Amino acid sequence: MVVTRAADQLGAARQLLEQRGATVLDLPALVIGPPDHWGPLDDALEDLESFHWLVFSSANGVQAVEQRLQRLGRCLARRPASLKIAAVGRKTAQVLDDLGAAADFVPPSFVADSLIDHFPVSGWGLKILLPRVQSGGRTLLADAFGEAGVRVVEVAAYESGCPATMPEPTATALEEGDVDAIAFSSGKTAEHTAQLLEQRFGPGWAERLEGVKLVSIGPQTSRSCRQCFGRVDAEADPHDLEGLAEACAQAMQKRS
């Protein structure tokens, strides 16, 4: 079983899968770093009182905003009383809880589309701050809120890149056909995994995935899997790490 996540976020996924009896190999497929420029985010945070909502679509965004606020002597736990926070996903909401800044709204399904469908107030006249990944992220939230009459300020809070190489034990297992499944936690982990496979195994890299179940955390990740690999074999429900671990366990049972 191979898990693709950011290099510093593999522990939780590994633990959930090992609890289900899997032998887990790590494949860090994201390296999280700063955006090219902090200016737009810092400017928005200086003017935080002017926003009605702060919308987080990832734990990485929460962590980046908190770090930049602390440079200003502020924090999310002591945000302006008029500012509400929305969070997509259980992990994102948990990071906010850990900071003492519980989200005011978490959609029932852990995908961006659900946030829009269930947003608790009318959008017209609202001003929303949307911290996001610098490149490659979806513009769905900004577009949908904009169509609803919201003034959306999108700012880069972090960047996610592809690691230089894959770990040697994981590469060896793939080469020897010892991998039953690969779990993808985002569209970018799928894209970067394809890059790492091609870099390691050359033009015939797709052959290394024959007989390997490809499991995605949600609809958008499934779309990326189909674009990169031509298929996806299972999708988590709910769309979080617990759901991903359960979908992997079921996919491997079917394989055996």
Distance from the first to the final alpha carbon of the chain: 13
Q: State the pLDDT at residue 242.
A: 87
Specify the pairing of strand 2-6 against strand 213-216: unpaired
For residue 47, give the nearest of 66, 69, 78 by alpha carbon: 69
Q: State the pLDDT at residue 137.
A: 64
Q: State the pLDDT at residue 111.
A: 56
Q: State the pLDDT at residue 113.
A: 63
* Domain 39-160 fold: Rossmann fold (3.40.50)
How many residues comprise the chain? 256
The structural domains of the chain, with segments of one domain joined by +, span: 2-31+163-255, 39-160
Question: Bridge-partner residues for 2, per DSSP?
Answer: 25, 182
Sign of the CA dihedral 120, 188, 6, 61?
Answer: negative
* CATH number for region 2-31+163-255: 3.40.50.10090
pLDDT in tens for each of the 256 residues of the chain? Answer: 888 877 666 577 788 888 888 889 989 898 999 999 999 999 999 999 999 999 998 899 999 999 999 999 999 999 999 999 999 888 899 999 999 999 999 987 655 666 777 787 766 789 999 999 998 766 778 888 888 888 999 999 999 899 999 999 999 999 999 999 999 988 989 999 999 999 999 999 999 999 999 999 999 899 999 999 999 999 999 888 889 989 998 888 876 5
Question: Bridge-partner residues for 133, per DSSP?
Answer: 158
Q: Do domains 2-31+163-255 and 39-160 have the same CATH topology?
A: yes
CB 69 within 8 A of CB 45: yes
What DSSP string runs through the chain?
A: -EEEEEGGGHHHHHHHHHHTT---EEEEEEEEE--S-SHHHHHHHHTGGG-SEEEESSHHHHHHHHHHHHHTT--GGG--TT-EEEE-SHHHHHHHHHTT---SB--SSSSHHHHHHH-SS--TT-EEEEEEESSS---HHHHHHHHTT-EEEEEEEEEEE--SS--HHHHHHHHTT---EEEE-SHHHHHHHHHHHHHHHGGGGGGGGTT-EEEESSHHHHHHHHHHHS---EE-SSSSHHHHHHHHHHHHHHH-
Considering the entire predicted model, what is its pTM? 0.79
Q: Which two tokens stand for residue 231?
A: 């298929």
* Cα distance between residue 63 and residue 69, in whole Å: 10
Phi-psi region of 100 (alpha: psi -120 to 50; beta: other; left: phi over 0): left
Task: Tell me whether the omega of the peptide bond preceding residue 238 falls within 30 degrees of 0, making it cis.
Answer: yes
